[in-house]
Chains A and B, each alone.
Chain A
Amino acid sequence: MLPGTARRCSAPGLTLVGRLGSLRRGEEVLTANLSAASLPADATGWNVERADRKGDRADLELSGRLSVRCAHAAVRRMRALLDDSPARVRVGLERLEALDAASAAVLLELCDDLRHAGAAVELGGASGRVRAILELVEARPRGGPPRGRSAPPGIVSQIGEATARGVAFARQVLDFTGQTLAAAVAAVREPRTVPWPVVTQVMERTGADALPIVSLISFLVGMVSAFQGAITLHKYGADIFVADGIAIGVTRELGPLMVAIVASGRSGAAFAAELGTMRVSEEVDALRTMGLDPFRYLVLPRVLALTAMVPLLTLLGDLVAVLGGAFVGVVGLDLTFSAYMQETRRALTLAHVLTGLSKSVAFGSAIGMIACQWGLATRGGAEGVGRSTTSAVVSTLFFLVVIDSAFTVLFNAWDV
């Protein structure tokens, strides 16, 4: 760096406008002098000089006030001044007025690095508070690799670990499914033992409270589908068949799927977060120590409630989506409302509605079980709850599509 070169330190939140001092080859003195306008008064300005008086020994002299905000810049400068790797280094602190514990740690780390590289390092001349802080930081063990970190595992280890995790997860899912079924069987044998007040409470939350959002989404889905169908059907003068398309498409496919997606995002996420929080705050363990089965007490009411409410919401969603289609038919296609509804009635059979409802029963129980499984599998604190909630929603969405595909193939095979 040339004498007098201005430079700007780009540390975040920090604007250091620096001016390099003189470089005098005769006496080998290199000075870096930076001042920080944005630093507090007690932390502004540090200086480091190198004065080599003997061939293999470098004398660095730190002066001014060193703080955590400028420690990195100071040490980087010191490293630059020592890039010729001298065998012996003395860091003189006689003129250092102040430093804080963080900058002391950074300075000591530099000394460790230099020693590691084979140099004999001496940190000297500190007095008063500077010395006390250095002694305090020096007294704490430093060095060595950071705890908990190790070399990244190889590809074989990663495959092995992923497989083991997959097997453990599959076992966990099987265990969960088995315990939930056992709780369901026990509930059928002794319905009195089911916490019915909890079931009705969850039904209200997952069903009644979801009416506005389900209605709005279904209406919009009906409208959008009608618009899309109308573009093609209008070309053939078959506007009225929009009603057929909406009626069949919504009741068999779109209605159950849209309601299930809403239930997954709303109730599934809530179940996972709720049970996850109970898990990390030891409430699930507390239930077990009171002799109460978490599956019967926590999982079963939620699965039952959702299995009952998703089909009911689907019925409502189907109706509102048909109304959405009718709105487009009346406003956009000049159909009369009665003609639209008459065509809907003609196209719709009980089989269409029942196929959709059977899907929604499966969707409801799947959302409940998957969400509760993730909730009860929560480990760790708040982060673990977040992870479980995300996993619950992603897993339920995935399984909704899988279940939907399976039902569609089956209905097709059975010609339903």
Chain B
Amino acid sequence: MPGTSELHIRVSDLAVGYDGVPILENLDFEIRRGEIFAILGGSGSGKSTLLRHLIGLAEPIRGEIEVDGAKPKLDGGAPTAGVLFQSGALLGSMTLGENVALPLASWTDLKPHEIDAVVHSKLRLVGLGGFENHMPDELSGGMKKRAGIARALALEPSLVYLDEPSAGLDPITSAELDDLLLTLNRGLGTTLVVVTHELPSIFAIARRCILLDTAAKGAIALGDPRQLRAESLDPRVSAFFNRRPSGGEAHP
């Protein structure tokens, strides 16, 4: 695993939520360059909310997020990170090729034939070579996610955020996607921040993780998921990693 000691993302005393009401507080963690870091937690625990704040799509209530030493901002400048959204979020009016080409056409001075070459190589990388002219609604869920990854990688970002990449996929497609993420991480040294609650994926790809809990309104564990499963004395952590119901009802 090409994780280094170099800091990529630092989160300190972070509180995030909606309309000023925090759903996660006191978050402190760091993500090193080149590592695969998983944000874990049950449904409704705030994983995607935290991710939106890391990306810069929402403003924190309190605390700081630093990506490469700067606050993440989406101010219309060239993007520094790629994002795979839960549904793939491919633009429905464009073909797969046009979706992947969009950031290249907007932020590089590549000529159309060069863009075509890059698009083709990215789609081939995610196993979708030859699907350039397909519309998103002609693809399966797994293919849309892979196309979303190709688009996220278009500008060769050093950091990619992935929101539940394997949710709703069959086990084989899910395992293929995990392999793809590992390949990208090993081959390109890309830092991957993955939101998931799929245990097989977590153990397959993540070397470090943060576990969020609705009732605790924050993180209840931080570290290597295998180690946490084997050694954590916290019943909530143990319940999550060993797929044991914790007995209570989900919080609204």
The yes or no answer to B187 lying at the interface (CB within 8 A) is no
- 9 further interface pairs, Cβ-Cβ under 8 Å (given A148-B252, A290-B103, A292-B102): A282-B85, A285-B83, A285-B89, A286-B151, A289-B55, A289-B82, A291-B77, A291-B103, A292-B106
Instruction: Decide: A285 near B79, CB < 8 A? Known: A147-B252, A290-B102, A292-B106.
Output: no
Are B252 and A293 neighbours in the complex by a CB distance under 8 Å? no
CA distance A133 to B51 in the complex (A): 42
A280 to chain B, nearest CB (A): 10
CA distance A308 to B107 in the complex (A): 29
Q: Identify which of residues 280-302 in chain A touch chain B, using a CB-to-CB cut-off of 8 Å.
A: 281-283, 285-293
Are B91 and A283 neighbours in the complex by a CB distance under 8 Å? yes
Residues of B within 8 A of A286 (CB): 83, 85, 89-91, 151
The yes or no answer to B239 lying at the interface (CB within 8 A) is no
The yes or no answer to A154 lying at the interface (CB within 8 A) is no
A344 to chain B, nearest CB (A): 43
Are B89 and A283 neighbours in the complex by a CB distance under 8 Å? yes
A140 to chain B, nearest CB (A): 9
Are A291 and B85 neighbours in the complex by a CB distance under 8 Å? no
When the two chains form the complex, which single residue of A148, A278, A289 contacts B79, counting CB atoms closer than 8 Å?
Answer: A289
CA distance A286 to B81 in the complex (A): 11
Q: Identify which of residues 175-193 in chain A touch chain B, using a CB-to-CB cut-off of 8 Å.
A: none
Q: Identify which of residues 344-379 in chain A touch chain B, using a CB-to-CB cut-off of 8 Å.
A: none
Q: Identify which of residues 63-117 in chain B touch chain A, using a CB-to-CB cut-off of 8 Å.
A: 74, 76-79, 81-83, 85-87, 89-92, 102-103, 106-107
- Total chain A interface residues with beta-carbon distance under 8 A: 17
The yes or no answer to B6 lying at the interface (CB within 8 A) is no
Closest to A147 in B: B252
The yes or no answer to B57 lying at the interface (CB within 8 A) is yes
Are B83 and A289 neighbours in the complex by a CB distance under 8 Å? yes
Q: List 15 A-B contacts (CB under 8 A).
A: A141-B249, A147-B252, A277-B92, A278-B91, A282-B89, A283-B90, A285-B57, A286-B89, A288-B57, A289-B81, A290-B103, A291-B106, A291-B107, A292-B102, A292-B103
Are B86 and A282 neighbours in the complex by a CB distance under 8 Å? yes
Closest to B103 in A: A290
Residues of A within 8 A of B82 (CB): 289
CA distance A290 to B104 in the complex (A): 10
Q: Ordered nearest first, which 4 A-B pairs have the shortest CB separation?
A: A286-B89, A282-B89, A289-B83, A282-B85
A289-326 contact mask (Cβ, 8 Å, vs B): 1 or 0 = 11111000000000000000000000000000000000
CA distance A282 to B58 in the complex (A): 13
CA distance A293 to B82 in the complex (A): 16
Are B83 and A283 neighbours in the complex by a CB distance under 8 Å? no
Residue of A147, A277, A285, A291 with highest tally of chain B CB at under 10 A: A291
A148 to chain B, nearest CB (A): 7
Residues of B within 8 A of A141 (CB): 249
Size class of the contact patch on chain B: 20 to 34
Are A291 and B79 neighbours in the complex by a CB distance under 8 Å? yes
Residues of B within 8 A of A278 (CB): 91-92
Residues of A within 8 A of B79 (CB): 289-291
Closest to A186 in B: B76
Are B74 and A291 neighbours in the complex by a CB distance under 8 Å? yes
Are A283 and B106 neighbours in the complex by a CB distance under 8 Å? no
Q: Identify which of residues 234-289 in chain A touch chain B, using a CB-to-CB cut-off of 8 Å.
A: 277-278, 281-283, 285-289
CA distance A302 to B185 in the complex (A): 40
Residues of B within 8 A of A277 (CB): 92
Closest to A290 in B: B103
Residues of A within 8 A of B103 (CB): 290-292
CA distance A42 to B107 in the complex (A): 68
Residues of B within 8 A of A281 (CB): 87, 89, 92
CA distance A293 to B102 in the complex (A): 13
A287 to chain B, nearest CB (A): 8
A97-140 contact mask (Cβ, 8 Å, vs B): 1 or 0 = 00000000000000000000000000000000000000000000
Q: Identify which of residues 140-161 in chain A touch chain B, using a CB-to-CB cut-off of 8 Å.
A: 141, 147-148
Residues of A within 8 A of B78 (CB): 291
Q: Identify which of residues 16-59 in chain B touch chain A, using a CB-to-CB cut-off of 8 Å.
A: 52, 55, 57
CA distance A373 to B85 in the complex (A): 23
Residue of B74, B78, B79, B249 with highest tally of chain A CB at under 10 A: B74
When the two chains form the complex, which single residue of B76, B89, B249 contacts A291, counting CB atoms closer than 8 Å?
Answer: B76
A138 to chain B, nearest CB (A): 15
CA distance A283 to B151 in the complex (A): 12
Q: Identify which of residues 216-252 in chain B touch chain A, using a CB-to-CB cut-off of 8 Å.
A: 249, 252
Q: Identify which of residues 193-222 in chain A touch chain B, using a CB-to-CB cut-off of 8 Å.
A: none
Residues of A within 8 A of B91 (CB): 278, 283, 286-287
B128 to chain A, nearest CB (A): 17
Residues of B within 8 A of A285 (CB): 52, 57, 83, 85, 89
Residue of A278, A281, A289 with highest tally of chain B CB at under 10 A: A289
CA distance A285 to B91 in the complex (A): 11
Residue of B78, B81, B87, B91 with highest tally of chain A CB at under 10 A: B91
Residues of A within 8 A of B85 (CB): 282, 285-286
B246 to chain A, nearest CB (A): 14
